[in-house]
A = this chain, B = another copy of it.
Amino acid sequence: MVYFDAASGEPLDPAGREAYLAALDEGWAGPDRLYREGRRARMLLDAAREAVAEVLRCRADELVFTGSGTSAVHQGVLGLAKGRTRAGRALVLGAVEHSSVMHAAELAAARNGGERVLVPVDAHGRIRLESLTQSLAGLAVGLVAVQSANHEVGTRQPLREVAELAAGHGVPLLVDAAASLGREPVPPGWSVLAGSARKWGGPTGVGVLAVRKGTRFAADWPQDERERGWSPGPQNVPAILAAATALRARSAEQQEVGLGHRELTELLRARIPELVPDVEVVGDPDDRVPHILTFSCLYASGEALLLELDRAGFSVSSGSSCTASTLTPSHVLEAMGVLSQGNIRVSLPWSARREDVERFLDVLPDAVRAARPEAARDRREEAPASAAASAALEIDALGKLCPLPVIELGKRIGGVEIGGTVRVLADDPAARLDIPAWCRMTGQDFLGAEPLGDERPDAAAYVVKRVR
Contact = CB atoms under 8 A, between A and B. Distances in A.
Interface stretch (A153-161, A221-229, A411-419): A221-229
Interface stretch (A8-16, A50-58, A293-301): A8-16
Interface string A23-43: 011001110111111100000
Interface in A1-22: 1, 3, 5, 8-9, 11-12, 17
A70 interface: yes
Interface string A293-333: 00000000001001101100011110000011110000000
Contacts of A238: 203-204
Contact of A233 (B70, B78, B232): B70
A234 interface: yes
Given A232-B74, A233-B71, A316-B35, A28 B11 contact: yes
Contacts of A12: 24, 28
A356 interface: no
Contacts of A306: 34-35
A353 interface: no
A24 B104 CA distance: 30
A103 B226 CA distance: 13
A25 B3 CA distance: 13
Nearest to A68: B233
Contacts of A29: 3, 5, 8-9, 315
A239 interface: yes
Contacts of A195: none
Nearest to A313: B36
B224 A100 contact: yes
A107 interface: yes
A234 B204 contact: yes
A445 interface: no
Contacts of A235: 204
Given A100-B232, A315-B33, A74 B106 contact: no
Contacts of A5: 29, 33, 35
Contacts of A315: 29, 33, 35-38
B221 A107 contact: yes
A44 to B, nearest CB: 13
Interface string A200-226: 000111000000000000000111110
A9 B28 contact: yes
Interface string A228-269: 000011111111000000000000000000000000000000
B8 A221 contact: no
Nearest to A303: B34
Contacts of A1: 35-37
A290 interface: no
Nearest to A70: B233
Interface in A271-305: 303
A458 to B, nearest CB: 20
B103 A223 contact: yes
A186 B33 CA distance: 28
A327 B107 CA distance: 36
* Residue with the greatest number of chain B CB neighbours at <10 A, chosen from A222, A233, A314, A316: A222
B67 A205 contact: yes
Contacts of A325: 32, 225
25 contacts: A1-B35, A5-B33, A9-B28, A11-B25, A17-B24, A33-B324, A34-B306, A35-B310, A35-B315, A37-B315, A68-B234, A68-B236, A71-B232, A71-B233, A74-B221, A74-B222, A78-B222, A103-B222, A103-B232, A106-B222, A107-B221, A203-B236, A204-B238, A204-B239, A225-B325
